[in-house]
């Protein structure tokens, strides 16, 4: 099945190019995850992110962030999408950004942890 979401196709291409340019395997791994069927994209709750990510790290979710649980650490969460409630919870303590924003802010992928 071929992807039809032009923004997603563009993001996948951008990740692959950045991976080769910066020699960072993280971006290639995320691109591979995003190439999967959208039904197989990760759905991760705020609770799980809070449990596995350390203070001042960035969590990268190649899918959607859902609102179950609370965020108690100052972290950045980058994801393909967020539920409205999850975004509100995250922005109280941390920062919710898109994957595209993350690759602009942190092209080397330092202190990034993939969740999901």
Residue 67 lies in domain: 6-114
Q: Rounded to whole angstroms, how far apart are CA atoms 55 and 48?
A: 14
Q: Rounded to whole angstroms, how far apart are CA atoms 97 and 4?
A: 23
Q: Which helix (H) or strand (E) holds 52?
A: helix 46-52
**pLDDT of 69 strictly over 90:** yes
pLDDT score of 38? 85
In a domain, 54, yes or no: yes
**pLDDT of 80 strictly over 70:** yes
The predicted-structure confidence for 82-107, as pLDDT tens digits, reads as follows 999 999 999 999 999 999 999 999 99
State both tokens at 83: 């539920």
Q: Are 31 and 19 in contact (CB under 8 A)?
A: yes
In a domain, 92, yes or no: yes
- Residue 66: phi and psi, rounded to 5, are -105, 165
- As a whole-number percent, the residues of the chain with pLDDT over 70 amount to 97
pLDDT score of 43? 94
Total number of domains in the chain: 1
In a domain, 1, yes or no: no
pLDDT score of 116? 85
The predicted-structure confidence for 44-54, as pLDDT tens digits, reads as follows 999 999 999 99
CATH number of the domain within which 17 lies: 3.100.10.10
């Amino acid at each position: 099945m071929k992807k039809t979401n032009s923004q997603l196709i563009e993001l996948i291409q951008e990740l692959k190019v950045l991976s080769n340019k910066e020699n960072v395997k993280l971006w290639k791994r995320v691109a591979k995850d995003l190439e999967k069927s959208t039904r197989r994209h990760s759905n991760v709750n705020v609770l799980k992110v809070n449990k596995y990510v350390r203070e001042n790290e960035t969590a990268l979710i190649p899918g959607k962030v859902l609102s179950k649980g609370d965020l108690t650490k100052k972290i950045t969460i980058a994801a393909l999408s967020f539920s409205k409630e999850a975004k509100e919870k995250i922005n109280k303590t941390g920062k919710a950004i898109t994957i595209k924003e993350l690759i602009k802010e942190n092209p080397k992928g330092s202190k990034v942890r993939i969740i999901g």
